[in-house]
């Protein structure tokens, strides 16, 4: 599943490597206006108004600015940020930790934060910890030191408003080759949390679990980690892609699908999510249309802080897991899908 993260990072890296260095085409005085989507009126708006009548949003929305056709052009990135701004106040930035060079992600992060600043958007940053060097482990002092140094560099460069230190931490917990090293990752998270707290206590710092993976391992009480980390969680994060467990239609998401989470936490919840409209998953744009309102229904009893949308545009990459080829809110060419209008409707219902 994390293949999508790796590709997203390669995409952003290619933008910074193409000669479009920060400051070349971006100007802090040149603000980015939210996208105006003419397709999100009429029947589409009425459809959502019928599905979630009287809905009021009391959480923030963050969106990752993946570009149309996976373009490396800054103009297309600006376009994607504009579309993200129409939906939410947060730009969702995903970086893959280097573990070798603590400064490896700084130029990419600087570029994206520059766009966020121009768009007057806050930053929700998530760190993918799945790409350890071959043979490395979290008990390695150099790995631990570089991880902490990279986090410090990012915070000093541009403090994010929300910071996920370990995306889908439970993937490491249940991996056949990684589970023995998992306690070392937990202790490293604790060190990282304490460091962030000392550097900037205003940052909402947390880690996340793959919800569907927890469902596969329900007998092992995977949610206990939320209890064990205790005061080192400002929020509880989950990623959820229901198709992973065979839910082919959003209306099939059980009302109790996320019901166990409040039993283990007393902090707000952050949810990364998406739903593919790929025919390979017996889905379509018409089926995916129902995901925003059905997710709102399923999450209704949670103290929801933020919803994070993983793709602005579809990602036509053969090396990417097929589930994420058609999870965008817009098609390859930039045209809005009905689901984009659904999130826009939910965004407009906010404060």
Residue 151 contacts residue 127 (beta carbons within 8 Å) = yes
What are the pLDDT digits (tens) for 292-311?
A: 999 999 999 999 999 999 99
Q: Which residues pair with 286 in a beta bridge?
A: none
265: nearest Cα among 245, 294, 238, 241: 238
- CATH code for residues 3-24+56-348: 3.20.20.80
Q: Which residues pair with 205 in a beta bridge?
A: 163
The pLDDT, as a whole number, for residue 238 is 97
Residue 323 contacts residue 279 (beta carbons within 8 Å) = no
The pLDDT, as a whole number, for residue 84 is 95
What are the pLDDT digits (tens) for 125-159?
A: 999 999 999 999 999 999 999 999 999 999 999 99
**What are the angstrom distances between the C-alpha of 40 and each of 5, 49, 118, 304?**
29, 12, 25, 25
Residue 159 contacts residue 201 (beta carbons within 8 Å) = no
The mean pLDDT value for 110-131 works out to 96
Domain ranges of the chain: 3-24+56-348
Q: What is the DSSP string of 279-341?
A: GGGT--HHHHTTHHHHHHHHTTTS-EEEEEE--SB----TTS-GGGTT--SB-TTSPBPHHHH
Q: Is 15 a residue whose pLDDT tops 80?
A: no
The pLDDT, as a whole number, for residue 28 is 45
Give the residue, 230 or 17, on which the prediction is more confident. 230
Cα gap 304→325, rounded to integer Å? 27
Max intra-chain CA distance, the chain:
58
Q: Is 18 helix (H, G, I), strand (E, B) or coil?
A: coil
The pLDDT, as a whole number, for residue 224 is 86
Residue 290 contacts residue 300 (beta carbons within 8 Å) = no
The pLDDT, as a whole number, for residue 140 is 97
Residue 84: CB partners within 8 Å, gap ≥ 6? 63, 64, 65, 91, 92, 119, 121, 312
Residue 69: CB partners within 8 Å, gap ≥ 6? 76, 313, 316, 332, 333
Q: Is 267 a residue whose pLDDT tops 80?
A: yes
What are the pLDDT digits (tens) for 191-243?
A: 999 999 999 999 999 999 999 999 988 877 788 888 888 889 999 999 999 99
The pLDDT, as a whole number, for residue 72 is 87
Task: Name the pLDDT band for 262 (thresholds 50, 70, 90).
Answer: very high
What are the pLDDT digits (tens) for 158-188?
A: 999 999 999 999 999 988 999 999 999 999 9
Cα gap 346→48, rounded to integer Å? 9
Q: What are the two backbone dihedrals, phi and then psi, of residue 32, each rounded to the nearest 5 degrees?
A: -100, 120
Cα gap 285→341, rounded to integer Å? 12
The pLDDT, as a whole number, for residue 225 is 86
Q: Is 254 a residue whose pLDDT tops 90?
A: yes
The pLDDT, as a whole number, for residue 223 is 87
The mean pLDDT value for 55-64 works out to 95
Q: What are the two backbone dihedrals, phi and then psi, of residue 72, each rounded to the nearest 5 degrees?
A: -105, 15
Average pLDDT, the chain: 89
Q: How would you classify the pairing of strands 269-273 and 304-309?
A: parallel
Cα gap 34→312, rounded to integer Å? 14
* DSSP annotation of 201: T
Task: Name the pLDDT band for 14 (thresholds 50, 70, 90).
Answer: very low
The pLDDT, as a whole number, for residue 29 is 55
């Amino acid at each position: 599943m994390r293949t999508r993260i790796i590709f997203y990072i390669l995409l952003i890296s290619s933008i910074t490597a193409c000669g479009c260095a920060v400051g070349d085409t971006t100007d802090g005085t040149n603000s980015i206006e939210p996208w105006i989507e003419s397709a999100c009126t009429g029947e589409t708006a009425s459809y959502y108004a019928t599905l979630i009548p009287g809905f009021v949003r009391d959480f923030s929305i963050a969106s990752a600015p993946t570009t149309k056709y996976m373009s490396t052009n800054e103009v297309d990135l600006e376009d994607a940020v504009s579309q993200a701004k129409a939906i939410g106040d947060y730009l969702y930035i995903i970086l893959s930790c280097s573990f070798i060079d603590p400064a490896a992600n700084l130029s990419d992060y600087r570029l994206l934060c520059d766009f966020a600043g121009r768009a007057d958007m806050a930053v929700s940053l998530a760190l993918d910890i799945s790409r350890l060097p071959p043979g490395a482990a979290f008990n390695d002092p150099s790995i631990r030191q570089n991880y902490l140094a990279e986090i410090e560099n990012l915070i000093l460069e541009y403090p994010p408003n929300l910071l996920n230190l370990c995306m889908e931490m439970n993937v490491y917990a249940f991996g056949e080759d990684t589970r023995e090293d998992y306690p070392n990752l937990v202790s490293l998270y604790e060190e990282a949390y304490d460091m962030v707290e000392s550097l900037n206590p205003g940052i909402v710092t947390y880690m996340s679990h793959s919800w569907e993976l927890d469902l596969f391992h329900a007998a092992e009480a995977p949610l206990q980690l939320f209890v064990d980390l205790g005061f080192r969680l400002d929020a509880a994060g989950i990623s959820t892609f229901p198709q992973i467990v065979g839910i082919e239609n959003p209306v099939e998401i059980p009302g109790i699908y996320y019901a166990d989470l409040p039993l283990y936490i007393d902090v707000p919840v952050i949810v990364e999510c998406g739903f593919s409209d790929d025919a390979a998953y017996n889905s379509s744009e018409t089926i995916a249309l129902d995901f925003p309102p059905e997710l709102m229904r399923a999450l209704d009893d949670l103290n929801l802080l933020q919803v994070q949308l993983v793709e602005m545009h579809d990602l036509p990459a053969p090396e990417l897991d097929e589930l994420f080829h058609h999870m965008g809110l817009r098609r390859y060419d930039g045209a809005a899908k009905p689901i984009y209008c659904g999130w826009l409707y939910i965004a407009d219902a906010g404060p």
